[in-house]
Structure 1
């Protein structure tokens, strides 16, 4: 663990890792004010259309985290989820790779095999070209350990304010009173970008969405050996479910809950981020659960680290 911390401090100029701190009422309100007034845009018509490719402006909080390895071009292998003008939520394992530096986030990218300087278009409209924002710092959870699933969450801060539009917008954080078990038995939306398991794989390169049938933590854990449970160091801060087939999505893809007002869907909130799942030839393994890091247990910690 000390070697991991030393690596982070050298690589990122001694950034401050997630720390548990206590805020008074005024401090808590100040942190809350970092959040946007509007978030989690939900178009009910799109919510029910059953398609696997998103609309151009659907899930506008999804970004692609750019990595740079020596002697290689930038690659985009993780999703970054926009929660404010300066901050994104990412899996911790995506920002602690000793062989690659997280450098930037692309927002507004619908077709990922298209040149990022060109506009993406569907049959009826075109979006502006994607926007690249460079990172100021990355902040993995201070208790995250590589090869473990627990606490696989972090923040990344961009150097300048993200300019919101119809195609780039933040998602809401979970409500403060979200119950630990309220997702069990639900079929929830998950959205992100497809996993490309080899360079010549003919992958559907659009931003994608599907459903995941959420199960209890105990049910998913029962399918693992005692050794696997020990090695992965799981906890109820995670949740799992069975993704309903199709192309596998990359780490950080967002599983989303829905805020209701007067019994009607009003907005999406970030319930969890994809951290681990079995993949066969680029497809979801239907017999194995996909694991997500829940965001609700870290809600206050996220707010405290948004400065």
Structure 2
């Protein structure tokens, strides 16, 4: 779906065509099965379109917070409570901005069209002001448990092929998330493009070993053992696949990344979202 541009003169025509791709009702968790079976560590622009970046509005510019956000519905995104602790207000002029439709964090919302060296072009990212921040009421500052925050946007998201929500549930889900090879995606410190990878979830006992938490580990958190050592920003979604009629149908959210731990290898610590779904639904109506 990306567009090849041979010269500047056709950019206006391309923008008109891209505008026509606006969607009235998007499919949540949209996936392309062909993209599941590659070794690529970068996504393409249309892949995982529910992932954005958290920024701080400094008036004349935006400051990168090095945090991912995940689109839940047309007015809300999800991130970690830790990511929003520095914002001046919880409602009104929060100073927080969700940058959506972004696949390279160097791209600016001032750009109508962004292209790579091969002439592939997509619409530039869109900035949405955050007018309300709700932190999980059971967030534990000592243990880090329930590290979740729902952000309400100032205006509804305009759905396009590159900006869509993730599914919050699967039609049939496993009872446990232990010992599952799950997908994760988001921006990271390894490059400018939105990345992706696979992580094997481990038992709580193994999680304690990997994070050196020999006495206590938060009840609603879990560990992923990633294939690569790239450290992703907090807020990156951990996703399972809803399979229908023997075919991968869509991604759904099971957890979001809260921190990376380095021991012998990189371990990802995730906040289990499945146990917070009722709170998320209540605050995203």
State the match for 1:131 in structure 2. 126
Structure 1 residue 247 corresponds to structure 2 residue 233: no
State the match for 2:35 in structure 1. 46
Give deviations 1:57-114, integer Å, cap 9, x for gaps: 0010001111257999522321110010001111111122367955110001111123
Unaligned runs of 5+ in 1: 1-35, 196-202, 280-284
Query: 1:124/1:268 Cα in 2 relative to 1: closer, same or farther (>3 Å)?
Result: farther
Deviation of 1:116 after TM superposition, in Å, equals 3.2
Query: 1:83/1:194 Cα in 2 relative to 1: closer, same or farther (>3 Å)?
Result: same
State the match for 1:117 in structure 2. 110
Partner Cα distance (1:114, 1:70) in 2: 18
Aligned match for 1:65, one of 54, 63, 67: 54
Aligned match for 2:146, one of 137, 147, 151: 151
Bigger mean CA deviation after superposition, 162-171 or 211-220 = 211-220
Give deviations 1:187-235, integer Å, cap 9, x for gaps: 211100012xxxxxxx521111111121112211244556x644xx511
Bigger mean CA deviation after superposition, 131-140 or 100-109 = 100-109
Bigger mean CA deviation after superposition, 289-298 or 146-155 = 146-155
Structure 1 residue 79 corresponds to structure 2 residue 63: no
Query: 1:65/1:264 Cα in 2 relative to 1: closer, same or farther (>3 Å)?
Result: same
What is the TM-score when the length of structure 1 is the normalising length?
0.75
Structure 1 residue 276 corresponds to structure 2 residue 259: yes
State the match for 2:187 in structure 1. 193
Aligned match for 1:289, one of 257, 264, 267: 267
Unaligned runs of 5+ in 2: 1-24
State the match for 1:19 in structure 2. none
Partner Cα distance (1:187, 1:194) in 2: 20
Query: 1:210/1:286 Cα in 2 relative to 1: closer, same or farther (>3 Å)?
Result: farther
What is the TM-score when the length of structure 2 is the normalising length?
0.81
> Secondary structure at 2:271's aligned position in 1?
strand
- Name the structure with the higher strand share: 2
Moved over 4 A (4+): 68-73, 98-102, 223-226
Structure 1 residue 306 corresponds to structure 2 residue 284: yes
* Aligned residues: CA RMSD: 2.5
